[in-house]
Amino acid sequence: MSRNIVIVGAGQAGLSAAAKLRRLDFDGGITLVGAEPVPPYQRPPLSKKYLTGEMSRERLYLKPEDFYGASDIDLRTGVAVTEIDLSIQVVRTDDGGQIPYDDLVLTTGAAPRRLPDRMGGNLPGVFVMRSLQDAEALAPVFAPGRSLLVIGGGYIGLEAAAVAASLGMSVTLIEMADRILQRVAAPETSSFFRELHRGKGVEIIEGIGLDHLTGQSHVTGAVLSDGRRIDADVVVVGIGVAPNTSLAEDAGLPLDNGIAVDTYGRTEHPGIWAAGDCASFPYRAGRIRLESVPNAIAHAETVAANLMGANQPYEPDVWFWSDQFDVKLQIAGLNTGFDDVITRPGTREGAVSFWYFRGDQLVAVDAMNDPRSYMTGKRMIERGQTPDKAMVADGSSDLRSAV
């Protein structure tokens, strides 16, 4: 009998798993189920080129429409899986159907955190930025002369602020922590982007939280935790995401900051796997969950290979990026536990990189408009090499010779 693999979640990870299975000559059935009414698409451009109209919807799609038929992948869009029945190995869907599986791959991704209703989170004019639907709702109200309030100083919030300011909007960003990017970056990186945004006219308020949004039929502004009032025509909430784990939880699968899988991508239940933003996996002495396109692709492809018997441990290639105004930030490695940061001047104007060390070990690099330093640092981290700190600080030194 033909083996049937069902993949729940038609995003980057879900498509990557399905496509990899076909490249590995899997000849059974593949069903890819997605709740959104569109085929798998890129998310990073949503808050940048798609929001500004520089990229069409068709260019967002990860594969052409005829790919799925040609690859014998049963893509079901606009269908949400509501239940996993472990006893008879089927998933049930919101259209009343059920799909049998021999192996089940959960690539359910993550969802943006929203403000509670009591704080005005349900007011018209309040948006999050995660899906194509979010971007298409937001695009018409991003217009010159309007005022935008961004809640949250992470990368999503900063990217939205940059796009809005570039379009001629008046932008205020508030961050409850002492500084923007506090959870993910060193003070040096925070300072770089604070100065960049303020230089472009964005007002950044740090160390002050939101008390509540104002308005009745539409948002009109906000009252901050210090009593200050801010007027706003549009609000974008960028306070992080949470992994979509409800299906797994209802089925009794173990969770640990996401769906817990082993180094091969397997859950504790035979025949059920998970990959991408929704999954946490062993890393060094603990567990991590990564929210990035490279992780979604590589993790899902590893799971696909293991479904074919590869028995291949997952080794993440940790890198990220963000585009804000005319700056491209490239990040290599994880800066968890760093205790020293060395600044390396770039070889061209406006370029700089920050090198994170834990003791004498290089663990991460943030590079702004400095792809050479990014690539050099990335290779060093991958190979477990650590450069001399004085050499890093000397922008004229050739670090590539040390790789």
- Residue 1 has what pLDDT? 62
- Residue 317 has what pLDDT? 85
Q: Can you give the pTM of this predicted structure?
A: 0.95
Share of the chain above pLDDT 90, in %: 95
Supply angle C-alpha 313, 314, 319, rounded to 5: 155
pLDDT digits 0-9 by tens, 228-277? 999 999 999 999 999 999 999 999 999 999 999 999 999 999 999 999 99
pLDDT digits 0-9 by tens, 43-91? 999 988 999 889 999 999 999 999 999 999 999 999 999 999 999 999 9
pLDDT band at 347 (very low <50, low <70, confident <90, very high): confident
Q: Which of 141, 116, 137 is nearest to 128 (CA)?
A: 137
d(CA 208, CA 307): 48
Strand partners, 170: 147
pLDDT digits 0-9 by tens, 108-160? 999 999 999 999 999 999 999 999 999 999 999 999 999 999 999 999 999 99
Judged against a pLDDT cut of 80, whether residue 403 lies above it is answered with no
- Residue 109 has what pLDDT? 98
d(CA 245, CA 260): 10
d(CA 304, CA 25): 11
C-alpha 243: how far from its chain's center?
A: 11
pLDDT digits 0-9 by tens, 172-186? 999 999 999 999 999
* Beta-carbon count within 10 A of 284 CB: 8
- Alpha-carbon distances, residue 104 vs 9, 10, 259, 342 (angstroms): 11, 13, 13, 45
- Residue 400 has what pLDDT? 81
d(CA 344, CA 116): 42
| Average confidence (pLDDT) over 195-209 | 98
Q: Which of 357, 403, 397, 352 is nearest to 380 (CA)?
A: 403
d(CA 23, CA 115): 42
- Residue 48 has what pLDDT? 87
- Domains of the chain, start order: 4-111+242-307 (3.50.50.60), 114-237 (3.50.50.60), 326-402 (3.30.390.30)
| One-letter identity of residue 1 | M
- Alpha-carbon distances, residue 259 vs 23, 106, 265 (angstroms): 26, 9, 10
Q: Tokens 């491209």, residue?
A: 328
Strand partners, 106: 8, 274
Report which DSSP code applies to 61: B
- Residue 401 has what pLDDT? 79
Q: Which of 35, 32, 37 is nearest to 94 (CA)?
A: 35
d(CA 394, CA 274): 44
Tokens standing for 279?
Answer: 């999954």
